Structure 1
Amino acid sequence: MAQYSKWHHPYDINEKYAERVAYFSMEFGIHQALKIYSGGLGFLAGSHMRSARDLRQNMIGIGMLWKFGYYDQGRHEDLSMRIQFQKKFYTYLEETDIMVQVNIHNHPVWVKALVLKPSTFGTVPIYLLTTDIPQNDHLARTITHKLYDQEVSTRIAQSIVLGIGGAKVVEALGGAAIHHMNEAHALPLAFHLYDKYRDVNEVRKRLVFTTHTPEKAGNEEHDIHFLHSMSYFKNLDLEDVRYITGIRSNSFDHTLAALRLSKRANGVSQLHGEVARKMWYGNEQVSEIIAITNAQHNGFWRDKALYKTLEINDDEGLTRRKAEMKKPLFEVVADQTGKLFRSDVLTIVWARRFAAYKRADLLLRDLERFYKLVCEQDQVQVIWAGKPYPFDYNAIDVFNKLIRLSHKKKNFAVLTGYEIDLSRKLKQGADIWLNTPRRPREASGTSGMTAAMNGAINFSVQDGWIPEFGRHGENSFLFPVVDSNLPSEVQDDIDYQNMMAILEREIIPMYYEDRSKWLRIMKKSMRAVLPYFDSDRMADEYYRKLYQ
């Protein structure tokens, strides 16, 4: 226990990365067995922690130990989506002697830190915080139960635990030169730092910020008096809060405050960097916003046998291995839906968080055309998977609509349980990875990176990371860019017509009639995604461009 009561790494720090950094994230997608993540933000944080270890960086992670995780996605008797909350237990997390106290709604709450050791899943040390301990009353214990709880006051309390509790844990470990907020969830740590130094410039020296979304729902605003009553600003009075954040209105914008209190910030793709600057540069005193494109850990995600066949340019071996990679996914399809998919049929996968702007059902805009393509011609099989936010009832309705439409359709499946293990199977089993957001609302979209690492060809709107990677007909299939100023319905119709034209006239004929060209695109995709979209590059850039 004692060695994890101080800043500790099981390796000699690389001198290029000597700056002490504490990385604060509400979720970490590290391993299927550690259910403390919901989706892309967690997957990104997990890859970052793996690469930080690989590069021997002087970094630790600060996160939350969610007792119920996000939620478990199952099915009702009619096969519609069921939301379940089940307690999780992790015997491999190690106790520390670190216990800190925070105030929430002017009441003391104890926060205990456990550590995920680097040897467990191949990361830097990650300290996970819990309030579910005997020292707290029932209400305080529930703060760390559910990731992104529906109750606003609980989510604010979670931010206080992560931000202020996490900052105190970092201090107990010996302190950090830089505190990195992965999204604005940990913003209360800025007020903890101001309370400590009483100089906003001292706060900015120690704080950097990554913004992950242009979506309004992802850039929260709350009444400043409500936040103050929750002790969100620690011991500061509202005059100090307004002074250091520059926010004069009663609507407190968390992202704007984070941008004003950080020495530097970043968007998560080159396009998102441009979008973020347009969104926020109209406000005074915001930090510089650069772009550091997201990436994923190739050692964790890619199929090594597939790359061995690529290295020796063995087309037959590549085709054979890709067919083998489909089998575990098709076993899941058979188990969940009773449908037997075939390895020799073009397999399209749409899998990610369900949100309106991602347009999960775009492919079904003309049902007659879709059914003719999938059910009559027998040339395509399609799989959907993903988790809606558990209280986004519109998204749940879309998910359930897909399930109803797929009933008794042998080449059309909807899967539940979209977590790391299923995500890996989907990427390994896909021939085409379909991505349909309304441009420019997808900040990055890293699932397409790990799909490409597994021989799936991206078929995508030109949004997020794709403009830095995709070349139509060379390593991807890309939708033509549509004017984002058009009404949403018009954008959807144009994107749909373009998507179907590419699918029917290019993708399907090439897959069945010109395999050599298909394999050329597949190989170029696998080569183009690495090394640039490997998280080692990303972790290096964070040190060089954001921390140092």
Structure 2
Amino acid sequence: MNKTELFGYTPAETYRTAVAYFSMEYAIDQSLKIYAGGLGFLAGSHLRSAHHLQQNVIAIGLLWKYGYYDQVRDTSNHMVPMFMEKNYSFLKDIGVTFTVTVHQAPVYVRAYLLPPSTFNCAPLFLLTTDIPENDGLSRSITYRLYDSNEATRIAQSIVLGIGGATLLDILGLTPDVYHMNEGHAVALNFYLYDKFKNLEDVKKRVVFTTHTPEMAGNEAHSFALLDTMSFFYHLNGAQVRDLLQLSGDQFNYTVAALKFARKANGVSQLHAQVARQMWSNNAGICPIIAITNAQNEAYWADSQIGEALRAKNTGEFTTRKKILKRNLLGIVADQCGKLFREDVLTIVWARRFAGYKRAELLMEDWAGFVQLVSQTKFPVQLIWAGKPYPGDEIGKAQFNRLIDRTRDFANCAVLTGYELQLSATLKRGADVWLNTPRLYHEASGTSGMTAAMNGTVNVTIPDGWVPEFARDQINCFCIPTAPQHLTEAEKDQWENKALLEILNQHVLPMYYEKPEAWAKIVATAFEDICPAFDSDRLASQYYQDLYG
């Protein structure tokens, strides 16, 4: 697997275990639009740290012709998804084309390489079916990340899992470990089973990371459809049921991955506990440990902010933060025609749009929201950004409802184009990073990590990774959570009240009246984030606890 002539990359002796990492999305660089949200952000940081540490890791993904989607505005200023063709001159055609079977017919797959030197990440192979050898239907498999058509989604998993494993064999690369980053690549196990003829031999080589406690986020399809789609490689549905001791009509990707893997991990201590409980009634699943997500400081943190905070130079930090805030406020002016001020506390809520993340929690009590944004003693500015799934009509409606509800407030803005570049600008320019998921619904969440790396203070529900970091009013502000016996509507009302109280009684007065105390929280958060939540720790821990 040490193919320096192919990769221009030599792993360090410290990392002899050869790892093939499979993920449906990677957020490597703004120019390479093959990601949707947190899963891709995590994978991108992992590959950056694998490169920095010279780990023996190569990655497999898909080359999405139209990416996820681009956010544009219609004539009423509402966000609409737009699918535009992407072209990348920096990818290397390695001259390998092969076939995988999809729906009992051959589909041609071509492999491209993102060389490690391009963006300083571990070698990444990207597979496409959008080539002349295929008909129109087969070409469309790699058009859109997370395509809304069920059969297309299944075909994407086949190309990622079986196609990725096939490519490794063609190249003569023999991983010691196959790492599935989420369940999308689970079909690769059927390829490995056909190769090794024994479930235990597959388990020796496979590990798995599960990323969501949301049942809807754990993909499942009917055995009958998967059988028809050739998902099980050379097995049929009955043989798969017998092999994995499965029952029912639905094949759950996560359950199957937990049965094929020798070990799995949740992405925070809390999530690992939830995952063990969530899947405990399935016989034969592997142990689930915790490896908390992290992000790459070298990529995400503004270097001058980091230098100022490490030197405990408050003056330099303040000067740099104003420049970064000015960059953010320029985007607000450009997109929304609103002139925000550098001297006003700026709160940002920005992440993938999903119902449980509660983008509108601050508006649950509308009168309280209006009072917050209208008072002048402690002025505030609010920014929202994020991407709902393009087929999620409820999510898109929520995004556009935010635009409508904030239209008449000169100090509220909703931004489009939430990708790597805007995400970094928001985290560097904000004063407060707002995180409001329903408790036990956020597996990890990492945006608050990169916010803290840039001197932005978290105001957050203690979910996901947060309990491993948070010290209320020492390195962040924790939003108290409602009693669990309440209904979701009652919890939203309860936690909205708690959030408004924290903002009005603690955050705003401290920011404006106790700048030294605010600066201390900023500095403490930075110290607590780095290096504990830097992805170098994550990449090293994967080798130690999952790959070893």
- Answer whether TM exceeds 0.5 for this pair: yes
Partner of 1:16, secondary structure, is coil
Q: Match for residue 404 of structure 1? A: 404
Q: 2:97 aligns with which of 96, 99, 106?
A: 99
For residues 447-503 of structure 1, the C-alpha deviation after alignment (integer angstroms, 9 at most, x for no partner) is 010000011001000000100001100000001233334311121111111111110
Q: Does 1:508 align with 2:536?
A: no
Q: Distance in 2 between matches of 1:239 and 1:7?
A: 44
Partner of 1:17, secondary structure, is coil
User: What is the letter of the counterpart of residue 292 of structure 1?
Assistant: I
Partner of 1:313, secondary structure, is coil
Q: Distance in 1 between matches of 2:234 and 2:383?
A: 51
Q: 1:209 to 1:198 in 2, by over 3 A?
A: same
Q: CA RMSD in A?
A: 1.4
Q: Distance in 2 between matches of 1:90 and 1:312?
A: 40
Q: Match for residue 543 of structure 1? A: 543
Q: Does the Cα contact within 8 Å between 1:333 and 1:413 map onto a contact in 2?
A: yes
Q: Does the Cα contact within 8 Å between 1:30 and 1:46 map onto a contact in 2?
A: yes
The alpha carbon displacement at 1:311 in A equals: 2.4
Q: Match for residue 354 of structure 2? A: 355
User: What is the letter of the counterpart of residue 82 of structure 1?
Assistant: V
Partner of 2:86, secondary structure, is coil
User: What is the letter of the counterpart of residue 470 of structure 2?
Assistant: G
Q: Match for residue 253 of structure 1? A: 252
Q: Match for residue 18 of structure 1? A: 16
Q: Does the Cα contact within 8 Å between 1:384 and 1:414 map onto a contact in 2?
A: yes
Partner of 1:433, secondary structure, is strand
Q: Match for residue 69 of structure 1? A: 67
For residues 259-293 of structure 1, the C-alpha deviation after alignment (integer angstroms, 9 at most, x for no partner) is 00101000000100111011012211100000000
Segment of structure 1 superposing worse, 8-17 or 438-447: 8-17
Q: Does 1:498 align with 2:473?
A: no
Q: Does the Cα contact within 8 Å between 1:385 and 1:416 map onto a contact in 2?
A: yes
Structure 1 unaligned spans of 5+: none
Q: Does the Cα contact within 8 Å between 2:358 and 2:436 map onto a contact in 1?
A: yes
Q: Does the Cα contact within 8 Å between 1:105 and 1:230 map onto a contact in 2?
A: yes
TM-score (norm 2): 0.98
Q: Match for residue 392 of structure 1? A: 392
Q: Distance in 1 between matches of 2:5 and 2:295?
A: 26
The alpha carbon displacement at 1:7 in A equals: 8.2
Q: Distance in 1 between matches of 2:163 and 2:446?
A: 30
Q: Match for residue 201 of structure 1? A: 200
Q: Does the Cα contact within 8 Å between 2:4 and 2:10 map onto a contact in 1?
A: no
Q: Distance in 1 between matches of 2:255 and 2:4?
A: 33
Q: Does the Cα contact within 8 Å between 1:5 and 1:98 map onto a contact in 2?
A: no
Q: Does the Cα contact within 8 Å between 1:159 and 1:185 map onto a contact in 2?
A: yes
Residue correspondence of structure 1 range 260-339 to structure 2 within 5 A: 260-339=259-338
Q: Distance in 2 between matches of 1:502 and 1:448?
A: 18
Q: Distance in 1 between matches of 2:392 and 2:4?
A: 41
Q: Distance in 2 between matches of 1:123 and 1:484?
A: 42
For residues 219-257 of structure 1, the C-alpha deviation after alignment (integer angstroms, 9 at most, x for no partner) is 112110110000000110223211222112111111101
Partner of 1:15, secondary structure, is coil
Q: Distance in 2 between matches of 1:542 and 1:240?
A: 32
The alpha carbon displacement at 1:320 in A equals: 1.4
The alpha carbon displacement at 1:11 in A equals: 4.1
Q: Distance in 2 between matches of 1:262 and 1:311?
A: 41
Partner of 2:140, secondary structure, is helix
For residues 355-376 of structure 1, the C-alpha deviation after alignment (integer angstroms, 9 at most, x for no partner) is 0000000001122221222134
Q: Does the Cα contact within 8 Å between 1:245 and 1:257 map onto a contact in 2?
A: yes
The alpha carbon displacement at 1:395 in A equals: 1.0
Q: Distance in 1 between matches of 2:80 and 2:223?
A: 36
Q: 1:80 aligns with which of 78, 81, 90?
A: 78
Q: Percent identity?
A: 51
Q: Does the Cα contact within 8 Å between 2:8 and 2:115 map onto a contact in 1?
A: no
For residues 426-445 of structure 1, the C-alpha deviation after alignment (integer angstroms, 9 at most, x for no partner) is 00011000000001100011
Q: Distance in 2 between matches of 1:284 and 1:485?
A: 30
Q: Distance in 1 between matches of 2:147 and 2:5?
A: 31
Partner of 2:14, secondary structure, is helix
For residues 30-70 of structure 1, the C-alpha deviation after alignment (integer angstroms, 9 at most, x for no partner) is 00000000011000000000000111111101000000000
Q: Does 1:161 align with 2:159?
A: yes
Q: Distance in 2 between matches of 1:98 and 1:280?
A: 39
Q: Match for residue 119 of structure 2? A: 121
The alpha carbon displacement at 1:112 in A equals: 0.6
The alpha carbon displacement at 1:14 in A equals: 2.0
Q: Distance in 2 between matches of 1:353 and 1:300?
A: 20
For residues 117-158 of structure 1, the C-alpha deviation after alignment (integer angstroms, 9 at most, x for no partner) is 001000011000000011111110010000000100000000
User: What is the letter of the counterpart of residue 539 of structure 2?
Assistant: A
Structure 2 unaligned spans of 5+: none
Q: Does the Cα contact within 8 Å between 1:272 and 1:443 map onto a contact in 2?
A: yes
The alpha carbon displacement at 1:98 in A equals: 1.8
Q: Distance in 2 between matches of 1:485 and 1:220?
A: 28
For residues 86-107 of structure 1, the C-alpha deviation after alignment (integer angstroms, 9 at most, x for no partner) is 0000000001022221100001
Q: Match for residue 414 of structure 2? A: 414
User: What is the letter of the counterpart of residue 519 of structure 1?
Assistant: A
Segment of structure 1 superposing worse, 7-16 or 182-191: 7-16
Q: Match for residue 224 of structure 2? A: 225
Q: Does 1:482 align with 2:501?
A: no
Partner of 2:463, secondary structure, is coil
For residues 163-206 of structure 1, the C-alpha deviation after alignment (integer angstroms, 9 at most, x for no partner) is 00000111122221111000000010000001111100011011
The alpha carbon displacement at 1:506 in A equals: 0.2
Partner of 1:492, secondary structure, is helix
Segment of structure 1 superposing worse, 245-254 or 193-202: 245-254
Q: Match for residue 466 of structure 1? A: 466
Number of positions where the alignment pairs a residue of Structure 1 with one of Structure 2: 546
Residue correspondence of structure 1 range 365-376 to structure 2 within 5 A: 365-376=364-375
Q: Match for residue 434 of structure 1? A: 434
User: What is the letter of the counterpart of residue 382 of structure 2?
Assistant: V
The alpha carbon displacement at 1:308 in A equals: 1.4
Q: Distance in 2 between matches of 1:6 and 1:258?
A: 31
